[in-house]
């Protein structure tokens, strides 16, 4: 008789089918070329848009947990969220500091309209938290924490772009931190008394996150003029500007060069 996979292992298996597309998109984003510094600046701007939503998302999920006192999932989930909120607080400021070191005005980033690709990625989590169950957020967190940048990526990008090494501090920090965070999430997922529907919601959330980040990376690779990048508009003028992924830059980097977390 075959033993059932733990929920975390079952989810890893599902994500392994989607992650090659993310790895290809990462390779295209970090492919060496004359515009790599601009692509990195665009990446910092997009990641700031995403990461500044992390704490508010978890705070909203914790509030929803409190509104479901009879649910056996919500108490342990809320306990994890409150701890992780403090671990993640201020990471958006790290990105602003890196952007400044890379030559982008942080105030411009704060004024810029977040692109639709980011709203698609993050906005789905608000919907699932409010209209289904806050446990769906675990899929988002697992996908992000489980695809951290490679430990050597920061130094490689610094060498290729000529930007100051300090402009890659957030990439370097997340390469160190996110492995431990993913292990914590796996343990939580395995001990929560989740229904089949809740397990499905976590998987759908994680797969959506992988797909949306891969699409965002392709857009950044093809057009690094994301709001906040020097010379880019502060808001998208063409409604199709961020939704069109035109034909590709040949990706020469292997799939492990980058990840979803900055």
**Model confidence pLDDT, tens digit, residues 78-100:** 999 999 999 999 999 999 999 99
Does pLDDT of 229 surpass 60?
no
Residues 230-233: contacts with CB under 8 Å, at least 24 apart: 230/38, 230/41, 230/103, 230/104, 230/105, 232/42
d(CA 135, CA 188): 11
Query: What is each CA distance from 182 to 6, 20, 73, 187, 189, in whole angstroms?
Result: 15, 19, 19, 9, 10
Residue 88: burial class (beta carbons within 10 Å; 0-12, 13-18, 19+): middle
Distance of CA 104 to the CA centre of its chain: 21
Q: What is the pLDDT of residues 43-57, one digit of tens each?
A: 999 999 999 999 999
Residue 99: its H or E element: helix 91-101
Structural contact between residues 48 and 109, judged by C-beta atoms closer than 8 angstroms:
yes
pTM value is: 0.86
- Residue 236 has a pLDDT of 44
- Residue 215 tokens read as 């699409």
The pLDDT-based confidence of 174 (bands split at 50, 70, 90) is confident
Mean pLDDT of 214-228: 82
Does pLDDT of 154 surpass 60?
yes
């Amino acid at each position: 008789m075959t033993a059932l996979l733990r929920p975390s292992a079952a989810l890893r298996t599902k994500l392994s089918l989607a992650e090659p597309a993310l790895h290809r998109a990462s390779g295209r984003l970090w492919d060496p070329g004359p515009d790599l510094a601009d692509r990195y600046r665009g990446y910092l701007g997009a990641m700031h848009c995403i990461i500044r939503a992390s704490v508010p998302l978890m705070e909203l999920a914790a509030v929803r947990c409190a509104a479901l006192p009879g649910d056996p999932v919500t108490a342990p989930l809320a306990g994890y969220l409150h701890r992780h909120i403090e671990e993640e607080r201020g990471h958006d400021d790290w990105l602003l500091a890196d952007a400044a070191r890379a030559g982008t005005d942080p105030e411009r980033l704060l004024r810029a309209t977040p692109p639709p690709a980011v709203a698609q990625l993050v906005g789905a989590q608000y919907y699932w938290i409010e209209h289904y169950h806050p446990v769906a957020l675990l899929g988002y967190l697992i996908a992000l924490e489980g695809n951290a940048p490679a430990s050597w990526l920061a130094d490689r990008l610094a060498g290729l772009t000529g930007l100051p090494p300090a402009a890659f501090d957030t990439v370097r920090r997340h390469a160190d931190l996110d492995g431990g965070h993913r292990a914590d999430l796996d343990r939580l997922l395995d001990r929560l008394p989740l229904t089949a529907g809740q397990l499905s919601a976590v998987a759908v959330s994680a797969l959506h996150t992988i797909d949306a980040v891969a699409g965002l990376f392709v857009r950044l690779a093809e057009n690094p003029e994301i709001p906040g990048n020097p010379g880019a508009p502060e808001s998208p003028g063409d409604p199709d500007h961020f939704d069109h992924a035109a034909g590709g830059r040949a990706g020469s980097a292997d799939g492990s060069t980058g990840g979803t977390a900055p």
